Amino acid sequence: MDGMEMTGTPWLPAGPPMLHAYREYECSQNTTAECDYYQQYWHFWYESDHRFALPTVALFTTTIILFALAHFFQRLAPRSVQDTSIVRRKTALYRFLSYRSFRLPALNWNSAPLGVLLLGLVGTTFFLCMTLIPQPYYWPESATLNYWGGSPPIATRSGWLSLGCMPFVFLTAGKSNFITALTGVSHEKLQVYHRWISYVFFVTALVHTFPFIVYNITTGQMVMQWMTNFDYWTGVVALIAQAYLTFASMGPLRNISYEWFKFSHFVAALVFMVFLFVHCASTLSSWDYFIVTGVFFAFSWLHRQLRIYFEHGLHREATISLAANGFVRVVIPTKAIWQVGQHFFVRFLSADIHALSIHPFTACSLPSATGPDSELVLYIRPRRGFTARLARQAASASGSKVRLLLDGPYGGVHMQKVQQCQRQIIIAGGSGSGWILPFILASLYTSGSTDKKFESRDNTLRIIVATRDIVARQWFDQTVRELLSSMGLNKLPPNIEIEEFFTGSDPMTAPTRVSDEDPYASEDPEKALGTTHASSQHGSDSDAESTNGKSSKQHSGRPDLPALLREEFTSASAPERIGVFVCGPLSMQNAVSNTVAEAQMSILKGRRKDIYLHMEHFSWA
C-alpha cells in the first residue's frame, strides 16, 4: 500500500498473508536526530493508520452520534420539554439549516440544504488540513537515509485517510443501514453523503497515487517498480474501477441508462474491492476496514433479502393497466404495512436483462383499514427501457399479470409529524400528483367515513396541485372521486380542500394523450410547472364543480407558492402546528423550502409557532 518493497513477479506477492503487519521498528538511520525525526507524530509510518485513518472514522462516527442523539430526543422527549422556548429555538435553527437552499435557474440546479453544505465544509476542511498541513510531503533527499520503502509522507497519510472513508461509503449506500436506524434519516436522503464521501475517497486515493509516480520517476525506478512491485498494478486497477464508480454515477450519465448504471456499478465495485484488498496487502490494520465494510454490507444485504423473500414472497403477481394520464398503474395484492410517502423497490421478473435491475416507486395507496389484505398501487411514469416496455404491454393487454419482487417500504413522511400538524399544506407538481393520494386516504381513515365525524376533525388539509397537462388534472379528479366512493362518500369532507392550477396551454387545445412516437416521455418532471409566471391572482380563477363532487378551486397560471405559504403562516394561531409537504420539480421545491426556512427565522425571533417541512424528490436513485 505504501511502497512496501516486494520483489518477484507482479502476480505472486512474497510471503504468506497476515491480518495485521508487524509494528515493531528499529531505527536504522545514521543518527539519533534522524531517528527522532522519522518517529515524529505525523511522520511515523508504523503508526500512520492510527494517526490518519482513525481520526477519519472518528469524524464520521461523531457526526452520526450527534444526529442520533437529536433524533432520539425529538422522538422521546415529552411535549412539555419540546415546547420550551430554548428547544423551540434550537429546533427552528436546525430546520432553517435543513431547509435553506440555493438555486441556479440556468442549470435547473438546487444546492443541498445549507446545513448539509456546512457539514461538507467541515469535512473538506478536515481532509485538507490532514493532508496538506503535516510536513514534509516527501522525505528529505539523502544518499545515506533509508526511510521506509521510499513511501512519501503525503502518500502515506492520504492513503489512510482514503481507507478510513471506505466503510462509510458503503454504509450510506445501503437501503437498510445503521445510520437510518440511528438517525431517522432515510436512505434516499443519505445519497448526497454517499456521493460526497465517495468524492473524498477518490480524491485522497489520487493524492496517494501520484507522489509514488513523482518519486519513482525522479529516482529512475518507475519501470522497475511497475514490473516487480505487486502493489503498483493492483493499485492502478483499483483506481481505474474507482474512477468509473465516481464519474459514471453522476446524474446525466446515470440517467442515460439506469439499468446499465446499476449493473456496471456493482461489477465495478466488486473489481475495486478485490484489487484494493490485494493492494493493501494486510498493511498495518488496513484489512480491518475491509472487515468492517463487509459486515455493514452483509447486514444490509441480508436484511433486504429477508424482507424480500419472507415478508413479500417470491411469487408476487401484479396487475398492470394504462391509466388515463399515460402512467402504468400497477396493483399488487399484499399483506405488507406501509405509510404515507413511502416507496418500494420493484424488480420485474422479465426474461431479459431488466430483471437484473430494481427501481424505486412511491406507493400511491395505503394498507386497508378493514383487514390484512391490501392493494399496493403504483403509478409508474414510462420513460425508456423497461418502463416503456411495461407501458406497451399495459396498453396492448390491460389487466395482464406480471411477476415481481418487492423490497420495502422505505423512507416516507414522519407520521408523528403528520398527526401533530393541525394544518397540513400538501403541494405537488406534474407527475407528483399521485403522491398526494395517500394523504387523502390517511385523513379519511383517521376521520372515519361519515360526514358527522368529518365535522369534528381537527386537522385540515389544503391540497395544491399544479400541472401543465389537462389529462393529468382530469386523471387526478377521477382518482380522488374513486377514493371517496370507496369510503362511501360523494364529496370531499369539510376538512379537505383542493386547489388545482393549470399551467399549460388552453385546455381546449391541449393534447389529450401523449405522442405515439415517444408516448411515455412527453412530460419532463423538471418542467411540470411550465414557464408561466402568472400567479393565481393574475390568472383566471373559477369555482368549478369538480369531478370529486364538491366545489374545488381551479386556477390558470402558476401558483405563487411563497405568497400562499406566508399567508398560511401569518393566519395560523400561536399553538397551531403547520406541516408543509411537497413533491414536485426543483423550482417548486426551492420556492417552498426557502419560504419555510424564512418562517423559521421568525420563530428564532420569538414567535411561538411550529412549521415543519417534508420534501419528496422526483429523482434521487
R_g (Cα) of the chain, nearest Å: 28
Distance, in Å, from the CA atom of 28 to the CA atom of 39, rounded to the nearest integer, reads 12
Residue type (1 letter), 134? P
- 594 CA to centre of own chain: 20
pLDDT of res. 193:
94
CATH class of 313-411: mainly beta
pLDDT of res. 515:
33
Distance, in Å, from the CA atom of 370 to the CA atom of 131, rounded to the nearest integer, reads 60
Counting as low any pLDDT under 50, the low residues of the chain are: 1-12, 449-457, 508-551, 621
SS3 sequence of 129-166? HHHHCCCCCCCCCCCCCCCHHHCCHHHHHHHHHHHHHH
**Residues 620 and 188: beta-carbon distance below 8 Å:** yes
Task: Return the domain boundaries, the chain.
Answer: 32-50+134-139+148-305, 313-411, 415-616
Tell me the fold of 415-616.
Answer: Rossmann fold (3.40.50)
pTM summary value: 0.86
pLDDT of res. 8:
41
- Which positions ≥6 away from 521 have C-beta within 8 Å? 382, 383, 384
Residue 49 CB burial class (10 angstroms; 0-12, 13-18, ≥19): buried
Strands (E), 217-348: 316-322, 328-334, 342-348
Q: By 3-state DSSP, what share of the chain in percent is helix, strand and coil, each rounded to 5?
A: 50, 15, 35
Distance, in Å, from the CA atom of 333 to the CA atom of 321, rounded to the nearest integer, reads 15
CA distances from 451 to 30, 140, 481 (A): 93, 85, 16
Helix/strand/coil for 107: helix
pLDDT of res. 244:
95
Other C-beta atoms closer than 10 Å to the C-beta of 140 total: 9
For the record, the C-alpha cell of 432 comes out as: 407528483
> Is the sign of the CA dihedral 174, 177, 179, 180 positive or negative?
positive
Helices (H), 369-495: 386-396, 415-420, 437-447, 451-455, 470-486
Residue 40 CB burial class (10 angstroms; 0-12, 13-18, ≥19): exposed
